[in-house]
Structure 1
Amino acid sequence: MKKFPLAAAFWTMCGTAAAEGAPQAAIELYVDTATRQIFAEPGPGRQRLGKFVQAADEAAPAANSVATAPAGASVRAPAGTATASSAAGATTPAGASGKPLASSKAWYDKLSIRGYVQMRYNQGLDDGAKDLKSPGDRFIGRDQGFGIRRARVVISGDVSDKMSIYIQPDLASTPTGSSTTNFAQLRDAYADLWLDKEKTWRIRAGQSKIPYGFEDLQSSQNRLTMDRADALNSAVRDERDLGVFAYWSPTEIKERFSYLQKSGLKGSGDYGMFGIGVYNGQGANRPDRNDQLHTVVHFSYPFKFANGQYLEVGADAYKGRYVVSTGSATIGGATFTPVVDAPEEGSTDQRVAAHVVYYPQPFGFQAEWTVGKGPELDVARRTVRTKSLRGGYAQVMYKFDGEYGSFMPFAKWQTYRGAAKFDTNAPKMSVDELEAGVEWQPNSAVELAVAFANMRRTDVSAAPYRMVEGKLLRVQLQVNY
C-alpha cells in the first residue's frame, strides 16, 4: 500500500485530539491526481475527496479502517477513527457509532442533463426534388436551406430507489400551420416505477414512446439513417403518446440492451424484453377524441453468440380506434369533404410488425415489416373507410473504427402502401425509396452523415395527393452533449 505522510499525520492528529476530548470539526481532504498524495488544502491537480470527521468510540478500538477515495487513492486510518466516502463531491458523515449515516443528497442532485442538436441540409439533384415532401424531414422541398431538425434536452435520473423520471422537450418544433420554426414542445414526460429490487419490472406512466417496432424506439440521436421508415412511423405520430405501460427485462437482458445502445452499435434501448400497455391513440401532444384506448404488446430478444455477435428479433402488435380529421379537398376537378365510414368512436386501427437486427460487428443487417388495416381515403367513394396496409424496409451497414474515428456506411430500401392517418383525410401514401450514405463519428460528441436518396412518394400534405419523384443529397451534423 502506498504511504501518504500528510494523511498519516492528519489521522494521528485526529486520534490525539479525540483522546484529549477536543471537539471534532469536519475537515476537507484533497488527493493529487498525479502523485495520489492527500492534502488538506485545494491546489492545482488536486481532486476533492469530501469532508471527514473523527467519530467517538463506543467500544474497544478496532482494526485500522480505510477511508474511501477515488480509485487509486487509499488512506489508512488509525484505530478508533471512522470515515465517510465521497461520490461526485457529495459527503456522507459518520455517526457516533462509527457507521456512515444515510446520504443527505437531495433528489435534484441525482438528476442529469444531456441532449443533442441536429442541423440538416438537403440539396435537390433534379427538378422533381423541388416538389418532394416527406413527413420525416420538413426541410425537403422548395426554398429550403439549413434547418435545425432536433434540439433536445433530456433531464433524467433516479429520484429514489423506486422511481426514475425522464423529461425531454424539443426546442426545434414547428406547430401545424406555422411559418415560424423552433418552438419548444414536449416530447417525453414520464416516470418509471420500479416494482422489485433488481429493477426488472417497471410501470411507465406518462408521455413516452409507444413500444411498436425497432426503428421507432431507436432515438434519432442513435439512428443511422436520416429518417424512420414510413411504414412503421405512420403507426404512431412522433412515435409517442400518453399512456401506461408495463415492461419486464431480466437482468442479463437489461445489460445487453444497455451495451447495444452505449457501444455505438445503434441499439434501441431497453423497452423491455416484454411489454404491454394502453395509450390514447391520437398521437403525442394531442388529447384523446373518442374515450377509446389503444392496446399494444411488445416483445424483443437480443441473442448474444459465443463470438460476441448480437442478433435481436422481435414482434409487436397494437389495436384501437382512431378519429380522422377531415377537410375540403379538390381532386379531379371536384371539391368535396369526405365522410368517415366508421362509428362515432373512430375507425379501426390495428397492425402487427416484426423486426430482425444483426448488429454491425462489423457487418450488419436490419429489417422490419408491418401489415394491418386502418382508415384511408377512398377518392372514388369520397369516404374515409377501413383499408389494408403493408410495408417495411431492409438496411445493410458496415462499421469500422480507425485512426480518424468510427465510420459506418449504409444502404436502405423502404416501401409502403397504406394511409397517412395523421394527415387530413387520411390519404393513401405510396413510398418507394433508396438511400445510401455514410456516418462519420470522429469522437463521441460529433457525428456527420452524408447520404444520397432516390425518392418516389406521395405528397400527402395537400390534395390532389400527387406522386413525386426526385433525387437528393442530404447532410446532417449532430452534436452530443
Structure 2
Amino acid sequence: MKTFKGLGILMICCIINVETIAQFVASDIKKEAPNKKWYEKISLRGYAQIRYNRLLETNEKLKCEQCDRSWGENGGFFIRRGRLILSGDISDRLYIYVQPDFASNVSGTFQHALQIRDAYFDLALDTHKEYRLRFGQSKVPYGFENMQSSQNRLSLDRADPTNSPVANERDLGVFFYWAPTKIRERFSYLVSSGLKGSGDYGVFAFGVYNGQNSNRAEMNNQPHIVSRITYPFKLKSGQIIETSLQAYSGQYVIEKHAKNNAKNVSFNDRRIAGTLVVYPQPIGFQAEYNIGEGPEFNPNTMTTEHKKLQGGYAQLMWRKKIDENYITPFVRYQYYQGGKKHEIDARSYLVKDLEIGAEWQLKSYFELTAVYTISDRTFEDANLPDNQQKGNLLRLQAQFNF
C-alpha cells in the first residue's frame, strides 16, 4: 500500500516541477484575451430524466436503493436526475466544470434537494492539454460505465458490481490524466456521434481521493488511490474497440445499525476490473468484471466482516437509424456477490438481473427508454437479515436534453 502511494506520488512529481508550472503560468498570462471576461467563456447545458417503474410489477418488495429509490412500494413518477452543467475554458490552461443536481434524494425519502455532483478544475500542463491535473469533486476513474454519463448510457442504471465501489461515481481528490491529442479527439467523437462513449478520462489516469464517496466527510487519515489504463483502438473497417484495466485501494469506514455486532468499522477496500467495449457500429458489445475485497454484512453472525467480492455485467446492443432518429435495442445481464460498503452495515448482496430494453432517440432533445427487468436480489443487513426478493417490472424513462 505505502509502496503504491510512493510510486504514484513519485510519478506525478516527475511529470510536474516548479519550473514547468512557472513557464505555463507565464505563457498563459501573455495569451489571455484582455477584453473577454471569464463569464463570457462559460457554457450552460443540462438534461432531466423522468421515470415510472410500476408497470407490470410482480413484487413491490423488490427494491434497488443504489440505482433508483422509486422501485417498489410507494414509488411513483420520479425525477431521477435534473442536471445543469456550467463549463468552459477560462484560459488556455484552465477548464472548469460545475454540475449541480436538482433531483438528489434526501435520505429515506423521495424529496428532492440541490446537491453538487461535480465541481472540478482542470489545469493543463502543456499547450496541447495532453497532460492535465484535475482538482475537486469529480468521477473516480474506475470502470467504463461509471465514467459514461447517464445522459448517454443505454441501461437506466449502472450495474451493481462495478458501481458499488464508488457510489455516485464521484469523490473529492486530485487526479492526473494523460492522452495524446489524436485519442482525445477520438474520445470526443465517441460521445458526439451517439456511440455511447465514456468521455475523455485519459489513456492513463492516476488519482488520490478521500474514499468515503461524494458529499461525505472523510473518516480516516488514509486516502484511496486509483489508476486506470484505457485505449480506444480503431480498426481499418472503422470499428472502434476499447479495452481498459483499472484498480483502486484504500480503507473504508462503514455506518452500522445498532443490531450489528461488529466492533470494527474500518475495512480494507480494494478492487481490480477489466473492460471490453465494442461500439455499436451498428452491433455492439460491452462487458466489465471486477474482483476484490471489502466489508460485507454476515447475517449468520449479525456482524460486518472483511470478505471477498466479485461480479460484472455483459450487454449486447444494436444501433439503427430510422429517418432522422435512432433506436437502440439492448440486452444486459449482471451478477454481483458481495457487500456494498456505502450502505448501512455494508449490506450483503447477491444480484442476478436480466434487462431487455430499447432506447428511442428523437432528434437531440428527447429520448424515450423502456426496459423490462427480471430480477432476483438478496440484500441483507442487521435490520433485515433474511431478505431475498424476486420479481419483474417494466421501467419507462423520458429524457430531455437542453
- Structure 1 gap segments, 5+ residues each: 1-100, 329-335
Residue aligning to 1:297: 227
Q: Tell me whether 1:197 sits opposite 2:127 in the alignment.
A: yes
User: How much has 1:438 moved relative to structure 2?
Assistant: 0.6
Please list, as runs of the form range in 1=range in 2, the aligned pairs for 1:330-345 lying within 5 A after superposition: 336-341=259-264
Among all aligned residue pairs of Structure 1 and Structure 2, give the percentage whose two residues are the same amino acid: 48
Work out the CA distance in 2 between the residues paired with 1:309 and 1:356. 14
Whether 1:432 aligns to 2:320 is: no
Contact 1:452 1:471 in 2 (8 A): yes
Q: Note the 1:49-448 alignment, pairs <5 A.
A: 102=33, 104-177=35-108, 179-328=109-258, 336-341=259-264, 346-403=266-323, 405-448=325-368
Distance 2:169 2:321 in 1: 31
Q: 1:390 to 1:317 in 2, by over 3 A?
A: same
SS in 2 for 1:353: strand
1:125 offset after TM fit, Å?
2.5
The CA deviation string for residues 284-337 of structure 1, in whole angstroms up to 9 with x for no partner, is: 000100111000001110000111110000010000000011112xxxxxxx32
Highest RCO, 1 vs 2 (Cα 8 Å, sep ≥ 6)? 2
Radius of gyration: which is bigger? 1
> What code does the residue aligned with 1:163 have?
L
Q: Structure 2: how far apart are the matches of 1:382 and 1:399? A: 47
Contact 2:54 2:72 in 1 (8 A): no
Shift of 1:124: 4.5
Distance 1:143 1:312 in 2: 41
Report the 3-state secondary structure (helix = DSSP H, G, I; strand = E; otherwise coil) of the residue aligned with 1:135.
coil
C-alpha contact 1:437 1:449 (8 A) present in aligned 2: yes
Listed as ranges, the gaps of 5+ residues in structure 2 are 1-31
Taking a change above 3 Å as real, the CA distance of residues 126 and 159 of structure 1, as seen in their structure-2 partners, is closer
Q: Distance in 2 between matches of 1:259 and 1:356?
A: 18
What is the Cα-based RMSD across aligned positions, in Å? 1.6
- 2:395 is aligned to 474
- 1:124/1:470 contact within 8 Å kept: no
Distance 2:380 2:163 in 1: 14
- Could you tell me whether the CA contact under 8 Å between 1:125 and 1:472 is conserved in 2? yes
- The code of the aligned residue for 1:456 comes to D
* 1:111/1:137 CA distance change after superposition, 3 Å: same
Task: Note the alpha carbon deviations across 1:371-404, whole angstroms, 9 max, x for none.
Answer: 0000111233333221000000000000011115
**Deviation string for 1:170-206 (max 9, x for gaps)?**
00011213x3512100100000000000100000000
Residues 259-303 of structure 1 show CA distances to partners (whole Å, capped at 9, x for unaligned) of 001110000000010000100000100010011100000111000
Q: Deviations over 1:128-174 (max 9, x none)?
A: 24443342011101122211000000000001111100000000011
More helix by share: 2
Letter in 2 for 1:463: L
Cα distance 1:216–1:199, how it changes in 2: closer, same or farther (>3 A)?
Answer: same
Change in 2 beyond 3 A, CA 1:380/1:197: same
> Aligned in 2, Cα 1:102/1:121: closer, same or farther, shift over 3 Å?
closer
TM-score of the aligned structures, taking structure 1 as reference length? 0.75
Residue type of the partner of 1:403?
Answer: D
1:458 and 1:423 mapped to 2: Cα distance? 14
Q: SS state of the match for residue 369, structure 1?
A: strand
SS in 2 for 1:388: strand
